[in-house]
Structure 1
Amino acid sequence: MTGKQMKIVLQMVSGYGGEFKTWRLPEAKADAYTDMDFYVEMAQLAEKGKLHALFMADTPALVNDLTNETPMHSMDPLIAMTSVARATKHIGLVGTFSTTFNESYNLARHLKTLDVISHGRVGWNAVTTSTPATAANFGTHLKSSRERYGRAHEMIEAVQGLWGSWGEAAYLHEKEAGQFADMSKIKPIHYKGNYIQTAGPLPIPPSEQGQPPIFQAGPSSEGIRLAGRFASGVYANPFTIEEARDYRNALRESAVAHGRSADDIKVFTGFMFTIADSKEKALARRRAVLEFDKEELDQRLSYLAAMVGLNFQGIDPYQPLPKNWLKLAQPNPYDPRSPRALEVLKEGYSPVDTLAHGVINYHPVVIGTAGDVANFLQEWFEAGATDGFSIVPDLAHDGVSAFVEQVVPILQERGIFHEEYEGATLRENLGVPYQYGIRNED
Structure 2
Amino acid sequence: MKAAYFDCFSGISGDMVLGALVDAGLDLGQLESELRRLNLTGYHIRTEETERGGIRATQLKVTVAEEQKERNLNDICEIIEKSSLRTSVKIKSKQVFLRLAKAEAKIHGKATEQIHFHEVGAVDALVDVVGAVIALQELGIEKVYASQVHVGTGFVKCSHGLLPLPAPATTELLRGVPIYSTGIRKELTTPTGAAILTTLCDEFGEMPSMQVEKIGYGAGSRELPLPNLLRVFIGNCPCQYEQDKVVVLETNMDDMNPQFYEHIMESLFHKGAKDVFLTPVYMKKNRPGILLSIIASSDKTGELLEVLFKETTTLGVRISEEKMRRMLKREGKIINTSYGEVKVKLSFIDGKLRDIAPEYDECKRIAEQYQLPIREAYDRVKKEAIEKTTEENAGRWKKHSGQ
What is the TM-score with the length of structure 1 in the denominator?
0.21
Higher strand residue share: 2
Q: Which has the higher contact order (CA 8 A, sep 6+)?
A: 1
Query: Considering only CA atoms, is the larger Rg found in Structure 1 or Structure 2?
Result: 2
What is the TM-score with the length of structure 2 in the denominator?
0.22
